[in-house]
Amino acid sequence: MTRRSAVLVAIAALALGACNSKPAEAPAETAAAPAAAPAPEAVYTPVVSLNEIMVYIVDPHSNELWDATMVAPKNDAQWAELQRAAVSLAAAGNLTKLSGNGARDQQWTQQADWVKYSQAVSDAGAAALSAVRAKDVKALSAAGDQLVVSCINCHREYKLEVPTIWTERQLPPEEAKK
């Protein structure tokens, strides 16, 4: 018998044997494994109001981005500061989806369009982050415009008192002093 014939016979024997045999049964467990304790459920408890998130996170970081579109960053340290601002804005939009402890915060976050407005802030922050990473002032300006639109749309619905930034801040602080 040639080597080739021997290999073919061996393969055929294995195939026939596999077709005729029963599958092996899984070994019986000898002792039941202890049940894992359920993980504690994460509970979100707001510690600040939505207004505080806006005043202390969204407003100052928005100003940093808008200012940078009028006076472009000159070095890596300034771009790094803008990256911090963009990350903060992207995160703040998601944070506002969760609500706050203000008088109307729970009511507002239950509205159908609240998530859309919060996501628009996150999207603008993400666009700004991409622009900052690319050191692209033109893209940063577009992200700033996107942020303005998201702010105006939300404020039309939820806080009609428009922040003074849109009416008083026309130049970055260093330019306004000249």
Model-level pTM greater than 0.85? no
Q: Read off the pLDDT band of 169 (50, 70, 90).
A: very low
CA Rg, the chain, in Å? 30
Q: Residues 50-74: pLDDT tens digits?
A: 989 998 999 999 999 999 999 999 9
Distance (Å) of CA 101 to CA 21, 28, 57, 85:
67, 54, 16, 24
Per-residue pLDDT averaged across 164-174, rounded?
Answer: 46
Tell how far CA 161 is from the center of its chain: 28
The Cα 114–Cα 97 span in angstroms is 7
- pLDDT for 170 equals 45
Q: Read off the pLDDT band of 5 (50, 70, 90).
A: very low
HSE of 75, CA atoms in CB hemisphere, 13 A: 1
Contact 94, 122 (CB under 8 A): yes
- pLDDT for 116 equals 95
Amino acid at the residue 60: P
- pLDDT for 163 equals 53
Q: Average pLDDT over the chain, rounded to whole? A: 80
Q: Residues 74-123: pLDDT tens digits?
A: 999 999 999 999 999 999 999 999 989 998 899 999 998 999 999 999 99
Please list, in sequence order, all residues whose beta carbon lies within 8 angstroms of the beta carbon of residue 81, skipping any fewer than 6 positions away. 64, 73
